[in-house]
């Protein structure tokens, strides 16, 4: 079979699709190779494909999965909405190398694409890719962050610092308590992601063009899913193709769960930046030694910045934008097919890839090395105007508010307590800040 016939679709399509240089990520190419491998294996077993042709397709598909032909998957992400360009690009790469490398005449449509349509192959591939990216990249990164945070929560359980609401003085908390809120948030985020990823495991392969399965064997879809599970061990299932070919809302759900995780990460990053601010004109409540390993300024010697945190926050901004893109692209299409398949596939993988890298660096270079400036935190806590709150149960809110105004004038809370008749020992007991981080009344009502 002449080479020019094998690659004719791709050559023509390059003139019609956009050429932005945006290429499909490795994970999607891997998933496409896996589907072509599984389809050839099943078609041979069903007696629809000769063993020599099937074996050639399987071998080249495995090489495609390994990354050998990534530079030949050249069609832009911004192409036909069903992903036909991607599917045919893959078909032609496999047919080409089966012929040129193995000497087996393989047709991209008749053989590589046997029993398939771009309309069920590409929606299947982007879901397989998304699940693998979550399992192998994002989930481990979150797990490491949770382990690191849990360690810090325990380590900092007795380190008192001022609480702040509206960026104003509030009652004391411990640094461990403050971080525990984020720890539990990430545990909740993982539960949501784990739950949502199960919907993404539903595959439409076998639906062919419109979901009916016309022009393929009735057992094809189920058997292909079995092979995918043999390779991945991830318990994919075949679902109603009339749902999963035209509706990509399972991937919207996954993206929304990633967005929730991103928002929690953003809040933690902001808090860390504030605690790290200074050292002399900011809070200076924590140090992050690794952040001083690169210059923070090209003009101010010795300046250090929370560079890894800021990198993560920028990554989160990109993830939130990709989430919006997925939401919009999921609405493209009518009747039996989505028209936003390629861009949704690209975006969901990029979300997880970007966030995984950000979380890994953030955990290693920020959370693992986070060091509290204990004396600074305690000094702030002891000066907090909110300490007057402890007297409210005894003297009432209005009187406490009046005393707060006196403290604003520069008087110490110790002097105020003496005027109220408390002894020095009683005042020392009242100002035991660690006790103020626990439930209950510090000063009993009279």
Q: Name the residue among 278, 351, 267, 260 with its Cα closest to residue 309.
A: 267
Which pair of structure tokens corresponds to residue 148? 């690191």
In sequence order, the 6+-apart residues with CB closer than 8 A to the CB of 42 are 115, 220, 223, 224, 227
Let me know: does 208 contact 109? Beta carbons within 8 Å: no
* Burial track 268-293 (b if 16+ CB lie within 10 A, e otherwise): bbebbbbbbebeeeebbbbbbebbee
Q: What is the DSSP string of 121-143?
A: HHHHHHHHHHHHHIIIIIHHHHH
Question: Quick check: 114 and 91 in contact, CB under 8 A?
Answer: no
Contact 341, 80 (CB under 8 A): no
The β-bridge partners of 170 are 163
List helix spans (H) across 291-373: 307-329, 341-362
Examine the residue annotation and report whether 166 is marked as an active-site residue of this protein: yes
423 secondary structure, DSSP code: -
3-state helix, strand, coil in the chain (%, to 5): 65, 5, 30
> Is there a catalytic annotation at residue 82?
no
Which position among 66, 107, 157, 166 bears the catalytic label? 166
Which H or E run includes 287?
A: strand 286-287
Q: Identify any residues that bridge with 202 across adjacent strands, giving them in sequence order.
A: 237
Question: What sign has the CA pseudo-torsion 239, 243, 244, 248?
Answer: negative
Catalytic residue among 297, 328, 412, 423: 297
Cα 121 to the center of its chain, rounded Å: 25
The residues carrying an active-site annotation are: 166, 297
């Amino acid at each position: 079979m002449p080479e020019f016939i094998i690659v004719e679709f791709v050559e023509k399509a390059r003139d019609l699709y956009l050429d932005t240089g945006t290429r499909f990520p490795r994970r999607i190419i891997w998933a496409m190779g896996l589907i072509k491998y599984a389809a050839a294996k099943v078609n041979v077993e069903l007696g629809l494909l000769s063993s020599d042709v099937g074996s050639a397709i399987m071998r080249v598909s495995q090489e495609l999965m390994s990354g050998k032909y990534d530079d030949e998957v050249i069609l832009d992400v911004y192409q036909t909405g069903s992903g036909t360009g991607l599917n045919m690009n893959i078909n032609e790469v496999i047919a080409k190398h089966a012929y040129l490398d193995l000497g087996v005449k393989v047709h991209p449509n008749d053989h590589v694409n046997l029993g398939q349509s771009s309309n069920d192959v590409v929606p299947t591939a982007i879901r397989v890719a998304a699940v693998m990216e979550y399992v192998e990249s994002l989930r481990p990164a979150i797990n490491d962050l949770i382990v690191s945070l849990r360690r810090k929560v325990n380590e900092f359980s007795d380190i008192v610092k001022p609480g702040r609401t509206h960026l104003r003085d509030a009652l004391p908390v411990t640094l461990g308590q403050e971080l525990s809120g984020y720890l539990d948030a990430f545990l909740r985020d993982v539960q949501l992601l784990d739950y949502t990823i199960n919907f993404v495991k539903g595959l439409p392969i076998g639906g062919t063009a419109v979901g009916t399965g016309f022009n393929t064997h009735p057992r094809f879809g189920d058997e292909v899913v079995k092979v995918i599970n043999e390779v991945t061990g991830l318990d994919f299932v075949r679902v109603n193709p009339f749902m999963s070919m035209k509706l990509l809302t399972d991937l919207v759900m996954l993206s929304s769960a990633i967005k929730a995780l991103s928002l929690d990460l953003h809040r933690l990053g902001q808090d860390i930046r504030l605690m790290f601010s200074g050292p002399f004109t900011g809070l200076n409540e924590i140090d992050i030694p690794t952040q001083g390993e690169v210059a923070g300024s090209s003009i101010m010697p010795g300046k250090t910045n929370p560079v890894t945190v800021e990198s993560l926050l920028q990554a989160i901004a990109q993830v939130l934008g990709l989430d919006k893109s997925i939401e919009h692209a999921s609405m493209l299409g009518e009747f039996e097919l989505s028209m936003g398949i390629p861009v949704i596939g690209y975006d969901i993988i990029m979300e997880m890839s970007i966030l995984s890298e950000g979380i890994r660096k953030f955990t290693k270079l920020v959370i693992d090395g986070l060091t509290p400036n204990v004396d600074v935190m305690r000094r702030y806590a002891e000066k907090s105007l909110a300490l007057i709150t402890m007297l409210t149960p005894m003297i009432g809110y209005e009187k406490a508010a009046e005393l707060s105004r006196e403290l604003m004038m520069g008087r110490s809370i110790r002097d105020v307590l003496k005027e109220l008749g408390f002894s020095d020992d009683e005042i020392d007991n009242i100002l035991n800040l660690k006790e103020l981080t626990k439930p209950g009344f510090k000063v009993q009502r009279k």
